[in-house]
Amino acid sequence: MKNKTMNYAAMYMVLLVFVFYTSCKGQDKTNVTKDSIYSDANSLITFKSPNRMVRTAKQDRNGNIWLASAGGIIRYDGKSFTNITNKVSSARFFSVLEDRKGNFWFASVGSGVYFYDGKSFRNFTTKEGLANDRVTNIYEDKSGNIWFGTEGGASRYDGKSFRNFKMSDASLSNRNDSTHQSVDQNGLPKDHWMHNDVNAIIEDKTGKLWFGTRGNTYIYDGKTFSPVTNKEGKPFANVRSIIKDKKGNIWLGGNDGLWRYDGRTFTNFNKKFVGYIYEDKKGNIWTSSESAKDKKWALSRYDEKSLSSKKPIVTEIKSNDIMLFGILEAKDGSIWFGSLMGVYRYDGKTITDFKSIEGDNC
């Protein structure tokens, strides 16, 4: 069973391209000039649905669904899908964020970050101070700072300048070094570059920041980074997703399965590899992970009323031969989730596969 988990973890690492990590030792600040590149959003392509990898799904304040996909940033208005970035970048996109001002941020793998105000784009790369152009995670903290998890560390943008952080002083990744490596199989030294490759960022109820990397997981108190360990003293390795639920609990998902931290103790709910975690309006916890029944991937729901039990009620909504990614509960109560081949919607009874019949290449 352990070997199966390691295989899925390795596969997940190959296909995703990951992000970040930070340390007090490696902080640098770069002011952003006003002459950064802008591009207009012209000739948008409207089509039936994306049929390539959809990594993240988010809903904006107006009800539109935004999808970060290998074919671009896709917006769904309830009737059709529109590729917002088709004339701006050919890069793969991994994350979408609507900030408190209503502007959008898109994380790409290889082309940095794109800022979109609804009319034009602004591209931020290492030239503007971003830690690395391979970005997969975006997060807005309580103060309004925008954090980017990159392969070469975390970048914090305050609206004027970037400040970069690294957990390790290790050099940037070598494409031939550990790209297919499983953390479980080989382990990582403290100065390995994967400790700077950030998968997830979250701010807890005390104001501390949690960073999940392809290496270990850390808590940042504004001065130092401290490794996070479970009740057995083992570091949480290769954490893919971190969320804070309505009660302030922190949930971690990765190589070591699904864990919850209530501020005092860690509780394990599943020891199979978990790729994504989401809490719905009722407090149910949703995950994309290796199925408990077979070798497939599954979209699972942990019943909120049973989370205090040693054996919570878990329902597998969908089992799939291919990997499942980001999860979203839309305003109408439907659950959206991405896969290697597009996006799905679950209305509580049936699952709609939006894969295009016409073979669109988005």
Q: What is the rounded average pLDDT of the residues 221-240?
A: 89
pLDDT (tens digit per residue) in 61-85:
999 999 999 999 999 999 999 999 9
Average pLDDT, rounded, for the chain: 84
What is the pTM for the complete model shown? 0.84
Q: Which helix (H) or strand (E) holds 16?
A: helix 2-16
In this prediction, residue 102 carries a pLDDT of 97
Q: What percent of the chain is modeled with pLDDT above 90?
A: 63
Q: What is the rounded average pLDDT of the residues 148-153?
A: 94
Give every strand in the sheet of 239-244, ordered side by side: 239-244, 250-254, 257-261, 266-270
Q: Is pLDDT above 50 for 99?
A: yes
Closest by CA to 304, choosing from 281, 332, 273, 329, is 281
| Residue 360 forms part of a structural domain | no
In this prediction, residue 33 carries a pLDDT of 53
Angle of CA points 52, 55, 61, to nearest 5° = 115
Number of domains making up the chain: 1
In this prediction, residue 171 carries a pLDDT of 61
Closest by CA to 39, choosing from 3, 98, 94, 91, is 91
- Higher per-residue pLDDT: 227 or 328: 328
Q: What is the rounded average pLDDT of the residues 97-125?
A: 97
- DSSP for 222-257, written as a single string: SS-EEE-B-TTS-B--SEEEEEE-TTS-EEEEETTE
- Higher per-residue pLDDT: 26 or 60: 60
Domain that holds residue 143: 2-353
| Residue 52 forms part of a structural domain | yes
Q: Is pLDDT above 90 for 32?
A: no
Q: Cα separation of 161 and 183, whole Å?
A: 34
How far is residue 103 CA from its own chain's centroid?
19
| Residue 170 forms part of a structural domain | yes
Q: What is the rounded average pLDDT of the residues 145-174?
A: 86
In this prediction, residue 19 carries a pLDDT of 33
Q: Is pLDDT above 70 for 315?
A: yes
Q: What is the rounded average pLDDT of the residues 337-359?
A: 82
Strand partners, 286: 278, 301
In this prediction, residue 70 carries a pLDDT of 94
Q: What is the rounded average pLDDT of the residues 35-62?
A: 74
In this prediction, residue 182 carries a pLDDT of 42
| Residue 171 forms part of a structural domain | yes
| Residue 49 forms part of a structural domain | yes
CATH code where residue 68 lies: 2.130.10.10
| Residue 199 forms part of a structural domain | yes
Q: What is the rounded average pLDDT of the residues 265-292?
A: 94
| Residue 359 forms part of a structural domain | no
Confidence of residue 27 (pLDDT cuts 50, 70, 90): low
Strand partners, 289: 274, 298
Q: Is pLDDT above 60 for 39?
A: no
Strand partners, 73: 68
In this prediction, residue 233 carries a pLDDT of 84
In this prediction, residue 264 carries a pLDDT of 92
| Residue 362 forms part of a structural domain | no
